Amino acid sequence: MKQPIYIKSACAISPQHSFNKEEFGKPWTSADTNLLQAIQPDHSQYISPVAIRRMSKLLKMGISSGMQCVKEAGINEIHGIITGTGQGSTLDMEQFLKDMIRLNEEALNPTYFIQSTNNSVNGWLAMLTKCTAYNQTYVHRGLSFDLALFDAMLMLNETTATKYLLVGGFDNMTDEYYIIKDKIGYWKKDRINSLELLLHNRSAGTIAGEGSAFVTVTNNPEDTMCALHSIELLPDADAAETALTINNILQANNLSPDDIDTIVCGMNGDKDNQLFFDTILADYPNATIAAYKHLCGEYDTASAFGTWVTATIIKNNHVPEELIVKRNVQKKIQNALYCNRTLLNQTTIMLLSNNQ
Amino acid sequence: MAEKIVVTAIGIISALGYGQEEHIAALRSSKSGMRYPRYLQSVHAKEFVVGEADKSDKDLAALMDLPTSGNGYTRTTLLALTAVKDLLKNTDIELLHKERTAFINADTVGGMCSVENMYMDFIGPDTKPENLEYIDTLDCSDSTRRISKYYKIKPFEATISTACSSSANALILGHRMITQGLVKRAICGGCDALSRFTLNGFNSLKNVDRNLCRPFDQNRMGLNLGEGAGYLMLETEASANERGAEILAVFSGYANSNDAYHPTAPSPHGEGAYRTMKEAIEKAGLRTGDISYINAHGTATQNNDQSEGEAIETLFTDNIPYFSSTKPYTGHTLAAAGVIEAILSIYGMQQSFIIPNLNFETRMEGMSLQPTATLKENINIAHILSNSFGFGGNNVSLVFSKS
C-alpha cells in the first residue's frame, strides 16, 4: 500500500489506568495471579442503564472505548467501523453453552446467544454512531486487531476523499478461558508479579490479560498523533523471515536500521518469544526498546493496546520508564518500529513515524 | 478503470452434495437437501429438519487422508478442507506456493460442533482431559490455520466473522487485495458445521421452522439451519488468461453497509438492504435493469423476508428480475451462506437456468413481488445479484457477471 495513514485519536480500556490518558501509570497496577483484569470506566457515559445490566463486560468495554475514541477524534462522521476480536464475548458464549447443557436444550435465554455473535460490538457501535458505512469484524486469534488495521489502511488507499475509520480490538479473559489455555501451557507455572513479567523470560508461558483499544485512522494528516507507513502480518514466521520483512519495509520507505530510534515490542516473558526478540533486536543496537505486555497481559488483541501505547508515546515524544527495556539517548522519537508476537508465532510489524 | 477480478475455480460441499455436478443436478431437479439430522446429536434431532452434509466426519477425514478419529480436526474444518480440495482439483497446487496467495476464510462458531460435547471436561479439574486435541478449536481461525498449513498457502490469511454475511465479506476482501496488487490470487469463502449451539440459539429466538422453510411466503415460519463450505478462487482477468485458466464468472461488484438499527432485526422497510444492493450494482457499473437474477438472503424469517422484499420492490420498482432464495435446498449455512449462494447462482448463470424458490405458495400481504417458483431453463443470465444480511445489521451484496 502506497499512502501512509494517520492515527487521529486512540483510547484504551486496559488493566492500567489508560481510559483517561493523563492518568496512565499513576499508579501502575499489577497482579500476582498471572491474570490481569481490565479496569472498568464508568460505562453509563455511553450505554443506557437498561442496556448496561444486560451487557457482558466485553460489550461494555468495546462500546465505551470505541465511543470515547470517536469523541476524542473530534469528528462529525466516521466512514467505517472495523474491529478484531480473538474470541468475541466469551462470557456470553460460555453462559449459553452451559445453560444449553444444563437445561438439556430447553428454555434458553437468547440474549446470551445474540451477544456471543462476534460482530455484536460492531453492530452496537454502528447504531450509536449512526454509521451505515462499511462494517467488518476479523476473528483471527493474535492477528485479529492487526487485520482490522490492515483493512483500514487498504480502504484509505482506495480513495482520495478524506475518510475517518474507527478501528479496534477487544477480548476478555474469563475464568474458564484461562483454565482452557492453562491446560495447553499458555500460562507460567509459577505465580509472578505482572510488572516483573519480562524478568521471568527463561521459562515457558506468559500471563493472561484483557482489554479493549480503539484508534481512529484517516488519510488526512492534519492534527494527528502519528503516521503509519506499513503494516505486515506474518501468520507463522521465524525470526529470519521476520527480519527480512522488516528490512523490506525499511527499504520501501528509504530507511536504514540506524534511522529507527524506538522499537515497541510485544515480548511476553515466554522463553521462545524472548529468543525471537533477541534475534530481531540485535540489528538495532542504538534504538530505545519498549515493551507493554507486562502492563496488559497476553490476549488475542493485546496488539490493540500495543498500538495505543505506540501512538501515545510518539505523540508525547516520551517513553514512560515502566515501559523501557533498554533506553538509548535520543532527542526525538522520529521513526518507530512496532513488533508484536504471540505464543502461536503470529507476528505483526508496523512502521510508524512522528508527523508533527 | 480497474482490472476485472474473475472467478477461476469453485469448491463446494453442502446438504446438496459434494462438488459441481451433484449441486447442479439437485438444483435442476428441485431436490432439497433437507432432512432430519443423522450426525448432529441434539435432543431436538427429530423435531427440526436441517441441511446436513451427507458425509460423516470419518468420510470427510478419509477424503483428506487424515486419521479418522482423534485428529483435532472438527467437522467445520473437515467441511472446509474438502471444499478447498474440490476447488483445487483442476488447479496446479504449486501456484499457491509460487505466487502470492491469500486464504480468506469466514466462520461464525469455529469448532463448536465438537467442543459443545466436550466443554464440561475442558473446564473441569482434569489437567489432561480426553479430547485435549480439540480444546482450542472453538476459535474461528482454527479452520483457517489448518487449511493454510495443509495446502501451504502463503503469505496471507484472515478469518472474518460477521454472522450470516461472513463469507460474502471474505470475497470482498479478496477482491480488494487483488485489485491493490497485494496478492496475485485469493481463495475466499467460508464454512460452518451444524451445532446444537446454533440450532438452540436460533430456536431460542423463535426463528426456526420445524418443517421445510418457506422464503417469501405469507405463511413462512422461520429458517432451517444447514451446514457446508464453499470457496472461490479469485484473480485478475490478465492472470487467468496468462495461465490459460477458464473464467467461470466476473466478480463485478460488491457493497457492505450497516443498518445501524438493531442488534438482530433488519431495518423495518429494508433501507439497509436497499442501500447495499444499490451500491453493489453501481460499483459494477450497472443499472438495476441489467440484473437478470437475484439470489435473495431469504431466510424465511418474518423480519428478513419482509424487509428484503420491500427493499427489492423499492429498488427494482415494477421491473423485478427473477429472484429466489436457495435456503430451502441447503438450509441457512450461516458463515458459508454468502459464498454457497454465490456459487449456486454462478452455476445457474453458466448453464442458463433460474433456480426455483422451493415451498412457495402464497404471496406476502401488501406486496406485489413473488419469487420464481418453478425451474426456468434457457434464460440468458448476464448479471446476478447475491444478498447476505447478518446480525449486527451487517449487509452485503455481491454482483457476478457472465464471462
List the single range of A198-207, A250-259, B32-41, B90-99 with lowest mean pLDDT: B90-99
Q: How far is B162 from chain A (nearest CA, A)?
A: 5
Residue B164 has pLDDT above 60, yes or no: yes
List, as ranges, residues 15-74 from A with C-beta within 8 Å of B: none
pLDDT at site A40: 98
Assess whether A94 and A208 both reside in one domain.
yes
At A141, the pLDDT band (50, 70, 90 cuts) reads very high
For A25-62, how does the pLDDT look when each residue is reduced to its tens digit (9 = 90+)? 999 999 999 999 999 999 999 999 999 999 999 999 99
Which residue in the set A114, A176, A235 is minimally distant from B264, CB to CB?
A: A114
CB–CB contact B260 A109 (8 Å): no
Assess whether A205 and A282 both reside in one domain.
no
At B77, the pLDDT band (50, 70, 90 cuts) reads very high
Chosen from B103, B135, B225, B258 to mutate, greatest number of chain A CBs within 10 A: B258
**Pick the catalytic residue: B23, B175, B297, B383?**
B297
Assess whether A172 and A313 both reside in one domain.
no
pLDDT at site B108: 97
For A83-118, how does the pLDDT look when each residue is reduced to its tens digit (9 = 90+)? 999 999 999 999 999 999 999 999 999 999 999 999
CA distances to A61, A228, B27 from A41, in Å: 8, 28, 54
- For chain B, the first-to-last Cα distance in angstroms comes to 17
- For chain A, the first-to-last Cα distance in angstroms comes to 22
Is B281 part of a structural domain of the chain? yes
E-strand stretches of B161-265: 185-192, 228-236, 249-258
Q: A–B: how many Cβ contacts below 8 A?
A: 176
Is B373 part of a structural domain of the chain? yes
Assess whether A115 and A145 both reside in one domain.
yes
CB–CB contact B393 A134 (8 Å): no
Rounded Cα gap, residues A115 and A91, in angstroms = 9
Mean local confidence (pLDDT), B151-179: 97
pLDDT at site B263: 83
Return the residue matching grid coordinates 486464504.
B103
Chain B interface includes A345 (CB < 8 A): no
Q: Is the dihedral of CA B305, B308, B312, B314 positive or negative?
A: positive
CA distances to B7, B10, B30, B39, B399 from B54, in Å: 27, 20, 18, 9, 30
Assess whether B15 and B56 both reside in one domain.
yes
Q: Which DSSP helix (H) or strand (E) runs through B96?
A: helix B94-98
CB–CB contact B180 A154 (8 Å): yes
Inter-residue contact B195 to B306 (CB < 8 Å): no
Assess whether B130 and B14 both reside in one domain.
yes
Residue at A251: amino acid letter: Q
Mean local confidence (pLDDT), B3-12: 97
pLDDT at site A3: 95
Chain B interface includes A100 (CB < 8 A): yes
pLDDT at site B252: 98
Rounded Cα gap, residues A50 and B270, in angstroms = 27
Number of domains, chain B: 2
CB–CB contact A118 B161 (8 Å): yes
Q: How far is B319 from chain A (nearest CA, A)?
A: 27
List, as ranges, residues 247-286 from A with C-beta within 8 Å of B: none
Which residue in the set A130, A143, A235 is minimally distant from B148, CB to CB?
A: A235
Residue B303 has pLDDT above 80, yes or no: yes
At B1, the pLDDT band (50, 70, 90 cuts) reads low
Mean local confidence (pLDDT), B269-297: 97
Number of domains, chain A: 2
Is B9 part of a structural domain of the chain? yes
Q: From A233, which residue of chain B is nearest by alpha-carbon distance?
A: B156
Q: Which domain does A214 fall in, by range? A: 5-218
Ordered alpha helix ranges (H), chain A: 49-54, 57-73, 90-102, 110-116, 120-129, 144-156, 175-182, 239-252, 271-281, 293-296, 302-316
Is B378 part of a structural domain of the chain? yes
> In CATH, what number is assigned to the domain containing residue A347?
3.40.47.10
pLDDT at site B323: 98
Q: Is B140 a catalytic residue?
A: no
pLDDT at site B262: 87
Assess whether A82 and A186 both reside in one domain.
yes
Is B247 part of a structural domain of the chain? no
Classified as helix, coil or strand, B176 is helix
Mean local confidence (pLDDT), B118-135: 96
Mean local confidence (pLDDT), B244-262: 96
pLDDT at site B69: 84
Q: Is B97 a catalytic residue?
A: no
Check residue A298 and report its DSSP letter. B
Mean local confidence (pLDDT), B225-248: 98
CB–CB contact A105 B135 (8 Å): no
Q: How far is A135 from chain B (nearest CA, A)?
A: 6
Tell me the three cell numbers of residue A193. 508479579
- Angle value at C-alpha B10, between B7 and B11, nearest 5 degrees: 155
Check residue B23 and report its DSSP letter. H
Inter-residue contact A139 to A85 (CB < 8 Å): yes
Chosen from B162, B256, B264, B389 to mutate, greatest number of chain A CBs within 10 A: B162
Q: Is B332 a catalytic residue?
A: yes
Domain's final residue, options B217, B242, B267: B242
Mean local confidence (pLDDT), A211-237: 98
Domain's final residue, options A218, A244, A273: A218
For the full predicted model, state whether its pTM sits above 0.90: yes
Is B251 part of a structural domain of the chain? no
CB–CB contact A119 B157 (8 Å): no
Is A224 part of a structural domain of the chain? no
Mean local confidence (pLDDT), A143-154: 98
Mean pLDDT of chain A: 97
Q: Which DSSP helix (H) or strand (E) runs through B114?
A: helix B112-115
Assess whether B185 and B58 both reside in one domain.
yes
Contacts of A82 in chain B (CB under 8 A): none
Percent of chain B with pLDDT over 70: 100
Chain B interface includes A97 (CB < 8 A): yes
For B168-226, how does the pLDDT look when each residue is reduced to its tens digit (9 = 90+)? 999 999 999 999 999 999 999 999 999 999 999 999 999 999 999 999 999 999 999 99
> In CATH, what number is assigned to the domain containing residue B197?
3.40.47.10
**Pick the catalytic residue: B23, B113, B140, B164?**
B164
Chain B interface includes A134 (CB < 8 A): yes
